[in-house]
């Protein structure tokens, strides 16, 4: 396993296409486990960890090096739930579980439309989900035994996912040195 043996609590990455319920799931899981919820989007905005604005996709262009530098110490401590729609730039050693939330395309379309997504931003995100881009990215970036895909279409799915992940946290043990 990739666990950092100094950590007494695991770190979890919750990833998935925008609109799959990452923030909702992460916040509920943080409450259930008393872990720290780190929203990368919020962190980037609050600490200016970006290289400007992408007009076409209507989002900040994050500076991955600055984000990793900002998080290094807190990730070493453990007990973190990181919420972001990408996963391939974080150091592999940071995470003990990588959760990829997946949502039915029609549900996702409705969620993103309600957020005001249109044009390329809407199309790109729907295509990302259709082709399971983030699941493949997670499987390529982390050991397959720590990557888990969870359905996230309904409140019941989210509740079940939080329960499953809380149980996993409670059973997690640090790797002996």
Which helix (H) or strand (E) segment holds residue 36: the answer is strand 36-39
Q: How is residue 156 written in tokens?
A: 């019941």
From CA 139, how far away is CA 142, in angstroms rounded?
6
The response to whether 79 counts as a known ligand-binding position is no
Residue 18: which of 48, 37, 41, 51 has the closest Cα?
A: 41
Residue 100: which of 86, 79, 115, 112 has the closest Cα?
A: 86
From CA 42, how far away is CA 125, in angstroms rounded?
19
The response to whether 23 counts as a known ligand-binding position is yes
DSSP 3-state of 151:
strand
The response to whether 24 counts as a known ligand-binding position is yes
The response to whether 115 counts as a known ligand-binding position is yes
DSSP 3-state of 97:
strand
CB-side neighbour CA atoms (13 Å) of 82: 27
Known binding-site residues equal 19, 21-24, 115
Known binding-site residues for ATP equal 19, 21-24, 115
């Amino acid at each position: 396993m990739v666990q950092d043996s100094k950590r007494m609590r695991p770190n979890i990455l919750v990833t998935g296409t925008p609109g799959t319920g990452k923030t909702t799931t992460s916040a509920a899981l943080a409450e259930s486990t008393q872990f720290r919820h780190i929203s990368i989007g919020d962190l980037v905005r609050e600490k200016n960890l970006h290289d400007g604005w992408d007009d076409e996709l209507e989002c900040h262009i994050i500076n991955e090096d600055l984000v990793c530098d900002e998080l290094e110490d807190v990730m070493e401590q453990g007990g973190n739930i990181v919420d972001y729609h990408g996963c391939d730039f974080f150091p592999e050693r940071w995470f003990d579980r990588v959760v990829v939330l997946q949502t039915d395309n029609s549900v996702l379309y409705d969620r993103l439309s309600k957020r005001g997504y249109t044009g390329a931003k809407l199309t790109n995100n729907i295509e990302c989900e259709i082709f399971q881009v983030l699941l493949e990215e997670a499987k390529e970036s982390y050991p397959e035994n720590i990557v888990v895909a969870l359905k996230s279409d309904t409140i019941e799915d989210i509740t079940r996912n939080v329960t499953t992940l809380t149980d996993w946290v409670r059973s997690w043990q640090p790797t002996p040195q």
